[in-house]
Structure 1
Amino acid sequence: MKKFQTLLYYCYSPIAEAEQFAADHLKFCKSLNLVGRIIVADEGLNGTVSGAKDDCAAYMDAIHADERFAKTEFKIDDVEEPTFIKMHCRYKSEIVHSGLRDTSIINPNERTGKHLEPADFKEMIDQEDVIILDVRSNYEHSLGRFKNAITLDIENFRDFPEKIAELEQYKDKKVLTYCTGGIKCEKASALLLHHGFNDVYQLHGGIIKYGKEAGGEDFEGKCYVFDNRIAVDVNTINPSIVSKCYNCGTVSAKMINCANPECNEHITQCDDCGSELQGCCSSACMDHPRKRPYNGSGYYVKVPQPVNLSIK
């Protein structure tokens, strides 16, 4: 029986004095022996935390007891061990950086796409007047995506607004957006509505909830996650692998970060190329003086930044 859990969640809800809240919340998480990464902003919370089941239960109870976050929905995975090394809780301007100067035009509490539960999303995806839009980054959708999904060439979600013009041709369609846990879709669907798309939906709970409640059917490949698991299986009905090794083109589902920290590129890399290049994306990175030792996993703990809201 697995003794630990990983919780993925978000909540768009205004937080007064959010920077102080972040500092206090870090102390609270430490008191529960949790590890993970939480972003706090004036607009709400975005987090993934991991720890013993009882500690995770206490954390969820505390979040739900706060009336600001009572609506928070947790995606819960049972895991063999905590999926982070340290605990970070940081204040930022947004819980998902939109790249917009005027963020007031995409307030998910005022207007966002129609939420589709996994069963409803599954029923709609094959309809002729529907397009499925992946709002995640390149390295995420290269590892796994829904069958026939439209993917965008973006490195970060803040690049999404620049891609709206490319989607104009789909204004007369039903646009079904999806992401890992739902948080990016809240802003992506709101922005599409702002630009005149009239029939916009979003997969409630994202890929993770779809896997749990709908078996992940027609999600091809694996789902990238932002902890040391790197990728998780979603599809238990008709699974497949769609990603290929960045170096040799062999079909591979293994996602890594380049061992050169100044590159840190997210790539799919097979074990043979990983061994040959010592976890680097290229020979140039392999020869870099700061190259991190490759242990086969391709996951590296980030170098702590000199800020007050991180465990040293």
Structure 2
Amino acid sequence: MTEQASYQVLLYYKYVHIENPQAFAADHLEFCKAVGLRGRILVAHEGINGTVSGTITQTEQYMMHLRANPLFRDIEFKIEPTEGHVFKRLSVRPRREIVHLGLEEDINPNELTGKYLEPKEFYEWMQRDDVIVLDARNDYEYDIGHFEGAIRPNVRTFRELPRWIRENLADQKDKTVLTYCTGGIRCEKLSGFLLREGFREVGQLHGGIIRYGQDPEMQGKGFVGKCYVFDERIRVPVNRHEDVVVGRCHHCGKPEDRYINCAYPPCHWQHICCSECEAKHEGFCSDTCREQALQTQR
């Protein structure tokens, strides 16, 4: 492996009861600092959810440490090579939930969740006529890449999905629903919610888009565009057969999968923007933001 590819990104989660998330998070933070990792890790009574980056030695040490804990002996890691750190800093924080679906009665994936589908099986199920493929991510994630034929829920946050489903899919409970997300964690709860709502059959992509793209047989087949990730890379390739740009520049509409944040700090809206339009519009998402920025300078 070259020097440039001597770093790795780990994407992982585990739904398992953690007795004292605050104490666990504090101890875990100190260990990660000592190892030299960067990233974001959430800890709650319901489990752990993290993405970290480091050298191969650092990430291997981290995986061994986590698996040495009986709670995480069988935890799965999605591993991606990278040229360096993809985070600027390290954060390990206790939370009420590691994934917030916004339900009055939360879902415990260890008690209720959809059928796990491996990449090839997921692709085969997608070809069936009675299947609905539901993207469990946010609209801006879908916009730069998704499975062909998947439904794009008009939601900006995961907790908006239950209401959207009730308003748009309530009459299709006799169909099979397939869900997918970046690494699989959101589908664990969403598929359980769908079953609780009365959908006949629910399947979820085991390991999410990242694992699907790494599968040696499928190599991302059926996924168009790139996968949005919550680190400095922003997007990563999935389909190894063809590279299709499905995103559209917010300003001119031409094919693009490049994201920027609006130059007006109170807005800071992340939107797809080509380099030409970024220069033309000075990084602003709208004339309104440009005018407001100018007024603050006067």
TM-score bracket relative to the smaller structure: over 0.9
**1:269 equivalenced with 2:270 (yes/no):** no
Distance 1:31 1:289 in 2: 42
**1:249 equivalenced with 2:249 (yes/no):** no
Amino acid corresponding to residue 123 of structure 2 in structure 1? K
Distance 1:13 1:56 in 2: 22
Kept after mapping to 2: 8 A contact 1:10/1:45: yes
1:185 to 183, 187, 204: 187
TM-score by length of 1: 0.89
How far residue 19 of structure 1 moved from its aligned partner, in angstroms, is 1.4
- The corresponding residue for 1:294 is none
1:101-139 CA distance string (max 9 Å, x none): 221xx1001010000011111111111111111010011
1:247-272 CA distance string (max 9 Å, x none): 11111111222233322222111111
Distance 1:265 1:197 in 2: 35
Amino acid corresponding to residue 54 of structure 1 in structure 2? T
- The corresponding residue for 2:220 is 216
- The corresponding residue for 2:172 is 170
SS at match of 1:39: strand
Please, which moves more after superposition, 18-27 or 224-233?
18-27
- The corresponding residue for 1:157 is 158
How far residue 288 of structure 1 moved from its aligned partner, in angstroms, is 5.1
Distance 1:78 1:67 in 2: 27
RMSD (Å), alpha carbons:
1.4
- The corresponding residue for 1:230 is 234
TM-score by length of 2: 0.93
- The corresponding residue for 2:206 is 204
SS at match of 1:74: strand
Amino acid corresponding to residue 88 of structure 1 in structure 2? S
SS at match of 1:133: strand
Alignment of 1:22-101 (within 5 A): 22-101=25-104
- The corresponding residue for 1:14 is 17
Distance 2:291 2:49 in 1: 37
SS at match of 1:180: coil
Amino acid corresponding to residue 129 of structure 1 in structure 2? D
5+ residue gaps, structure 2, are none
Kept after mapping to 2: 8 A contact 1:179/1:207: yes
How far residue 174 of structure 1 moved from its aligned partner, in angstroms, is 1.2
How far residue 283 of structure 1 moved from its aligned partner, in angstroms, is 3.1
Distance 2:220 2:264 in 1: 34
- The corresponding residue for 2:139 is 138
5+ residue gaps, structure 1, are 291-312
Please, which moves more after superposition, 271-280 or 77-86?
271-280
Please, which moves more after superposition, 177-186 or 211-220?
211-220
Distance 1:264 1:194 in 2: 37
SS at match of 2:17: coil
How far residue 287 of structure 1 moved from its aligned partner, in angstroms, is 5.1
How far residue 95 of structure 1 moved from its aligned partner, in angstroms, is 0.5
Kept after mapping to 2: 8 A contact 1:257/1:266: yes
How far residue 237 of structure 1 moved from its aligned partner, in angstroms, is 1.3
- The corresponding residue for 1:195 is 197
Distance 1:277 1:16 in 2: 51
Amino acid corresponding to residue 225 of structure 2 in structure 1? G
After superposition, the Cα gap between the structure-2 partners of 1:43 and 1:243, relative to the gap in structure 1 and judged at 3 Å, is same
Distance 2:252 2:33 in 1: 43
How far residue 211 of structure 1 moved from its aligned partner, in angstroms, is 0.4
1:267-290 CA distance string (max 9 Å, x none): 111111112223321233345559
Distance 1:92 1:130 in 2: 35
Distance 1:241 1:123 in 2: 24
